[in-house]
């Protein structure tokens, strides 16, 4: 079973209908007005869809009444927030990043080509342009993650609810503008919680080694 299939099974078990029953594919089809069809739910639950569309993820979350950001989180540790109507489009959010963040290498705004290159092949220049101008309304899951990684924001930035655009942590952006660090973060998004802890422990071991060397040099 794929990661997405496991998440869907967790959600359909935890976020049930008001009568306590699990949501069926037919009920989700009807509730979403056909945006998410019964056959799509079947394929998703059976692991045949590894990279579902952005709009379909939001539609499922809305119907089942759970925060859309949970698709990008460890289900058991994610912090939920109060849901309100989403008023800011995906293209607005992406363009906000382009307007707010400068390319540290040039001091100029990021270009679509630069973002595509920093994504390490996960999103094409034409796809970046399409998302920005609104011609691509339903990018796949991995495209959203790729954009988030390049700009060093969490993928939930594109799903946060409310009328205002999210505030970007400038300190975090400064840390992650380094290309190597961005690449590490980018690849880490796909790892399990256990694998992320392994990487974190390796980093801590390197820090301890440097600390020991500094103490030895000072003695």
Give the pLDDT confidence score for residue 81 in this predicted structure: 30
Q: Is the pLDDT of residue 217 over 70?
A: yes
Q: 79: Cβ–Cβ under 8 A, 6 or more apart, which residues?
A: none
Average pLDDT over residues 1-22: 85
pLDDT score of 83 more than 80: no
Nearest partner of 161 among 57, 86, 61, judged by Cα = 86
Q: Is the pLDDT of residue 38 over 90?
A: yes
Evaluate whether 138 touches 147 at the Cβ level (below 8 Å): no
Residue 199 in this model has a pLDDT that exceeds 50: yes
More confident residue, 183 or 4: 4
CA pair distance 162, 149, nearest whole angstrom: 22
Query: pLDDT for 51-67, tens place per residue?
Result: 888 889 889 998 998 88
Residue with the larger pLDDT of the pair 211 and 123: 123
Domain boundaries, the chain: 3-72, 90-188, 194-219
Least confident of 137-141, 145-149, 165-169: 165-169
Percent share of the chain, pLDDT over 70: 77
For residue 67, the SS3 value is coil
Same fold, 3-72 and 90-188: yes
CA distance 201 to 213: 18
pLDDT confidence of residue 174: 55
Return the C-alpha torsion angle 161, 162, 168, 169, nearest 10: -80
Distance CA 21, CA 104 (A): 52
Cβ atoms 41, 25 nearer than 8 A: yes
Q: Quick one: 3-72 is in which CATH superfamily?
A: lambda repressor-like DNA-binding domains (1.10.260.40)
Confidence of residue 76 (pLDDT cuts 50, 70, 90): very low
Decide if 158 contacts 144 (C-beta within 8 A): yes
Superfamily of domain 90-188: lambda repressor-like DNA-binding domains (1.10.260.40)
pLDDT at 177 over 60: no
**How far is 216 from 219, CA to CA, in rounded Å?**
5
pLDDT of residue 43: 93
Rounded CA separation 14/59 (Å) = 17
Indicate the SS3 state at residue 162. strand
């Amino acid at each position: 079973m794929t990661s997405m299939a496991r998440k869907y099974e967790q959600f359909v078990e935890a976020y049930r209908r008001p009568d306590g029953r699990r949501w069926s594919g037919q009920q989700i089809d009807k509730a979403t007005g056909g945006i998410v069809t019964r056959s799509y739910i079947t394929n998703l639950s059976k692991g045949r869809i590894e990279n579902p569309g952005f709009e379909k993820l939001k539609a499922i979350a809305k119907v089942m009444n759970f925060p859309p950001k949970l698709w990008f989180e460890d289900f058991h540790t994610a912090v939920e927030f109060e849901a309100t109507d989403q008023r800011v489009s995906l293209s607005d959010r992406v363009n906000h990043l382009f307007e707010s963040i400068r390319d540290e290498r040039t001091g100029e705004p990021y270009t679509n080509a630069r973002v595509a290159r920093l994504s390490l092949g996960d999103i094409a220049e034409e796809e970046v342009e399409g998302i920005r101008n609104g011609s691509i309304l339903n990018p796949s899951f991995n495209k959203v993650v790729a954009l988030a990684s390049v700009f060093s924001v969490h993928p939930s930035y594109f799903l946060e609810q409310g009328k205002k655009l999210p505030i970007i942590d400038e300190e975090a952006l400064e840390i992650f503008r380094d290309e190597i660090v961005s690449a590490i973060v980018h690849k880490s998004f796909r790892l399990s919680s256990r694998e992320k802890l392994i990487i974190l422990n390796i980093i801590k071991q390197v820090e301890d080694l440097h600390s020991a060397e500094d103490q030895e040099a000072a003695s």
